[in-house]
Every structure is written in structure tokens, then in C-alpha cells.
Amino acid sequence: MKSVIVGTAGHIDHGKTALVKALTGIDADRLEEEKRRGISIDIGFANLELSAVNGEKLRIGFVDVPGHERFIRNMLAGVGGIDLVLLIIAADESIKPQTREHFDICRLLAVRRGITVLTKADAVDAETLDVVRVEVEEFLRGSFLDPAHSPIVAVSSLTGAGLPQLKDALAEVATEVPAKDPAALARLPIDRVFTMKGFGTVVTGTLVAGTIRKEDELEVFPSGRRVRVRGVQVHGASAEQAIAGQRTALNLAGVTVEDLARGMILAPAATFGATTRLDVSLSLLPSAKPLKERARVHLHSYTSEIIAEVALYEEKSVKPGQTAYAQLRLNEPTLLLPGDRFIMRQFSPLETIGGGTVLDAAPLARAKKSFVLPFLKGFDTGEAASVIRARVARRGQAAITSAQLTAETGLREAVLEGILFSRSLAQSVLRLAGAYIHAPAAADLKRSILRAVEEFHQGNPLVAGMGKEALREKVRAAPEVFGAIVGQLAHEKKLEIAGELVHLPGRGVVMKDEEAESKKIIEQAFSSAGLQVPALCSVLAGLKLDKARAAKIVTLLLRDKVLIKISEELVFHQSALQELRKQLAAYKAKSANIDVGKFKELTGVSRKYAIPLLEYLDRERVTRRVGDARLIL
């Protein structure tokens, strides 16, 4: 059964609630004060089942909104998730101020379908009804409710006249509403919170996307609290699940009424992030005053109302009837996604002045306006591949993961991968270590890495290669991106990796004659000394090289393990230490234990060498200290 949400709109006392009751038998005024005063104060709900001409069953959920100007904020909490609107105009009063404001709101929210209903037709004669119809047709011309393609139906909720024709029109228009994707990621803006005896905490709302099932774990935005769905109702009846486009009630575990409020949103846990920055395309109504830079406004989206400051990207102000790109800086976090519509009301006095579309709910921090604008224009196209390309491209040499893309766009990973691996993005997006990077940025990073290694070789001919971390810091790349790019360069045989060092193919240590001679002198000095080695500084002092180049040669010998440094002051040739291991192995045949005295006797070294050597052997697990002696392992 297809579910469609229908919202009412129109001036106070034009018969919106009476019409909903006449159609459904349900009084949408649920508050005692509403019944006492005879006016709607808050949003109300009802439902109706219809059959389309083609036999399709339709479940119509009505959101009845208050018409009084003082309750526009409540009206806005109800119309955010509607599929079509009933614009209600009383035949005995015609078009009034809230008729115009509600109609403007519907247009700003990009409602595409609807029916105009002339109520109280029994209160006027036929001639007056015809005059009102002409006025209404002129008012609607050129809009989504243009009489050329959208019906105008005259009814009387009192006598029932015109109701069958209205139901037929509703069924026809409802069949034209595109079905929402039940496989999308779920979002339920909360419009009511209450406690039900025997159940506990219950919330209601219009499920604007996806599916919610019993036992689902959801996250409350913006608080981040996790809740479990204990029960589901759809249009007042128990169900195993609710799907997009249905009026939904959820019985929640893990939360109290005090923890929830209208304006909060339920969504799958650990999927999205709340935001206090929104990059948007906004439009001012022709009747509005100019909107200046840094103006404060009331932002309404779905069931939420938040104070926001407007930061314009191009001009210093927006003129009536104009559209502009802006960042809305919110005074509290919320969950919104690209494509979500919003309404702006003037901070004071409270008047509807415009609205627009969210383009980016995850703007990059401290990005310059000149950088942001081209991407916003790309997001504004709405074409999926272009939007994803722009989101990857704006990260530059920083990759973006599938999880981050899901949080930014609201698209499931399977949908994203279908776009990312499409032919249209094959040349512009690369996959690296489970994330995605803009191909031109990856090519730039490769060139930067190769250039940095080349410069290192030129400046450090006595060093075999550049340390990976030093190289990463030089090119300012994120660790995961750097590792993947270096791996690619190695696969392409443009780089070689030796442990923690990176060098160009065929490039290693390049020594001049005096450097090669000095290397030979250093190695010979320690090789011939056995275990009674000279001080390193005294060996280096006898070379013709400057200290810096001599130190690099020593580093090279240590790196190649020709020399082994066992303490801050003592360096040994690897052959001497290898011979020492053999001596200990032979000694073990006589005794498994050796103390300092016996070690000195065995090796012929003084205590100055014996203690550091024994500590080195302990670290190498050749010996293990037991009291004052060592056990030969």
C-alpha cells in the first residue's frame, strides 16, 4: 500500500480541521484548549484509505496545521515532510494574509503537488462562488497549483457537497507522488513526545526517509543518545516496521520524555553527525526586506526551529526575490542533509522572508569563500556523480572514506560505490586504502613525493634514503594517504623502500674519494681493535672530512650494521661482537654461568668494556642476569 502525507494550509477559520474531519471522521484538534477556543493551536493528525482509478490502495496521512499567524511556528513543524498540500480557502472570505503566507511556505519547501479546496461553499451563492474561483485562479496562476494542471474543488464540510469529488482528486494526485526509497537511511523528525501507560516513552513523526523496524538501534540528534525501538505503529496501528512516507509512532527504550523534544531527529546509530554550519542556497520572497550580512533569522526545517546567523558568500546583502549562496551558523546543533529544505523567518518581527535548500551540512573548517563557492555551485546541480566528485575533490590530497561520504550525503555505501565506480568518475576519483581521493590531487602528491626524495638525495649523498616520516611531513600528507601513494610509487618502480627508508631506484649512497677513504679508515679502526675499541670521537678527529660528513658516514655504517653501538660511548665492529658470541658458546660447554671477573678473563677487557658488553648481551638475549652473575642462554 502506497503511503502519502497530505498537509493542510490556509488562513485561520477557513475550515481546515473541519474538512479533515469530514474526509476521515477524525477530529485533528486533540488539545482541550483547541476544543474550547474553536481554533487549531498545534498540528493534528488523521488518516484515510483510498483506492486509485488503477486499483492501487492509498494510505493518506493528514497533517492538519493551525492557520493563525501566532501559530506559524507550529504550522512549519507540520509541513516539512508532506508530499502534497490541500490549500484551503473559504468561499465566504477568499484569499487572506495566512493564505498567502502558507502558500509561500509551500513554494519555498518545493511542494510539487496539491489541490486547492474552496470550503464553506454552502455559505455563498453560486455567483459569489464563481467570483471567488476566478480570484483564486488568478492568485495561483504560474505556480505549482496552477489551475491548468491542478484541480480546484468546492466543498462543504457541513453538507458533504463536493467531498466525493475531492476524494477522487486526492486519489488521482496521490498516485502521481513519487514513492520514497524504503532502503534509504532512515530519518524521523520528532513532532510529538509523550508517555503512554503500559508502554513508556512514545514519539511520533513523519518518516521522511528509509525504514524503521522493531529492535532497531537509533541515535537521537543532536544529543547523541542511543535508543532501542520497542514497538512501531503506523497511522495508529501496530506494525513490524514503518517505511518512508508514513505517519509513525515509536515506543522507545533507553530514554525518558524529558530527554526528547519536538525538533529532534531519530536516525541510525553511528551514521550521521550533528552540525552547527550549513552551506545553503537561499531565496528571498519578493515581499521581504533585503537580507543583510550577519542577519539573525529563525531557521525552520522539518520539526525544528533554530536561531541562525547568515554569512553571505558573494554580496553583502540579498535583495527581495533574489537567490544567493550563504552559510547559516546555528546557535545549536541539528541533523540536516543536502537536499533538505528550510524556511527562514525574520528574527523580529516574526515574518516569513524566504527559504532554500541545504547544499552542504559538513562544510570544511576555515575554508576561504573563493574556495567554497565553486564547490557549492557543483553541489547545487543535484547530479549525483558531479556532487560526489566535488565532495572528493574539495578534500585535495586528503582522502575521504565511505563512512564520511555517507554522513555528508545520506547515501548508503552501496549507492555511493555504484556512483564512485561508475565510468563517469573513473578518471577523476581513485580508491586508496579503503578511502577515495581526487585523481589530480593524487598525481600532484606523487610528483611532490618524487621531487622531495630527489632533493634529499642531492642534499644528502652519504645517506641511503629519506625516512618515511620525514618525507610524509615534508609533503604534508595524511598517514593513510601517504602510505598508499608511496606503495603505488613502489609498485610503479618509481620508488624503492628499504625498511623505514625511501629512495629513488638505483640511488643510494654516493661517496667522493675522500669520503670512501674515510669510511674505510673508520671501519678498519674498529675492525682491528677487537673488543678494546677506541673512542669514536678520536677516530673521527683523525679524518680529513668535516664533522657533519664524518657523522653521516658513521650513521651509514651503523645503519648497515657494520658498526654496532652498544652504549652512548662505545661502538664495536660487528665481527668483534660475532666473535664474542662464539667465545661464550664455547665457554658454556664448561659452565652455564659467568660473572664479571670471568668475563674479563675470557675476553681480556677491562671493567670499562665488560659491563656495557654484558648489558648488551642481556638485551640481545645471549645472557640473562641472575644476581651478580649471568646465565648463558
Q: Would you list the DSSP string of 141-156?
A: TTSTT-TTTS-EEE--
Q: Using one digit for the tens of pLDDT, what is the confidence trace for 71-126?
A: 677 778 878 889 999 999 999 999 999 999 999 999 999 999 999 999 999 999 99
Given pLDDT bands bounded at 50, 70 and 90, which one contains residue 53? confident
pLDDT at 38: 64
Binned at pLDDT 50, 70 and 90, residue 350 comes out as confident
3-state SS, residue 139 = helix
What mean pLDDT value characterizes the chain? 90
User: 80-89, 195-204, 264-273, 502-511: which has the highest mean pLDDT?
Assistant: 264-273
pLDDT tens string 567-587: 888 899 999 999 999 999 898
Asked whether 279 and 387 are in contact (CB, 8 A), the reply is: no
Q: Tell me what pLDDT residue 139 has.
A: 96
Q: Specify the pLDDT at position 319.
A: 96
Q: Per-residue confidence at 462, pLDDT binned at 50, 70, 90?
A: low
Q: Given strand 429-432, what is the order of strands in its sheet?
A: 400-401, 435-438, 429-432
> Residue 512 pLDDT > 70, yes or no?
no
**Is the pLDDT score of 558 beyond 90?**
no
Assign 147 a pLDDT band (cuts: 50, 70, 90): very high
Is the per-residue pLDDT at 299 higher than 80? Answer: yes
Q: What is the pLDDT of residue 36?
A: 61
pLDDT at 494 > cutoff 90: yes
456: CB partners within 8 A, 6+ apart:
463, 465, 466, 471
Question: What separation in angstroms does the CA of 146 have from each of 87, 107, 175?
Answer: 12, 12, 19
Angle between helical axes of 547-559 and 513-527 (0-180°, round to 10) = 60
Q: 179 pLDDT band (50/70/90 cuts)? A: confident
Q: Rounded to whole angstroms, how far apart are CA atoms 211 and 600? A: 79
This prediction's pTM: 0.80
515 falls in which pLDDT band (50, 70, 90)? Answer: low
pLDDT tens digit sequence for 231-289: 999 988 899 999 999 999 999 999 999 999 999 999 999 999 999 999 999 999 999 99
Q: Is the pLDDT of residue 340 over 90?
A: yes
Bridge-based pairing state of the strands 237-239 and 226-234: antiparallel
| DSSP letter (8 states) at residue 616 | H
Element (H, E) at 573: strand 571-573
Average pLDDT over every residue of 130-135 = 96
DSSP string, 539-562: HHHTSSS-HHHHHHHHHHHHHTTS
User: Which grid cell is 337?
Assistant: 542533509
pLDDT confidence of 172, banded at 50, 70, 90? very high
pLDDT for the residue 511: 59
Q: Between 439-459 and 479-491, two packed helices, what is the crossing angle to 10 degrees? A: 80
Higher pLDDT, 427 or 292: 292
For residue 397, is pLDDT > 70? Answer: yes
Q: What residues contact 375, with CB distance under 8 A and at least 6 apart?
A: 360, 390, 391, 393, 394
* pLDDT, tens digit (0-9, with 9 covering 90-100), for 363-379: 998 888 889 999 998 89
Q: What is the pLDDT of residue 300?
A: 94
Is the CB of residue 201 less than 8 Å from the CB of residue 277? no
pLDDT on residue 180: 85
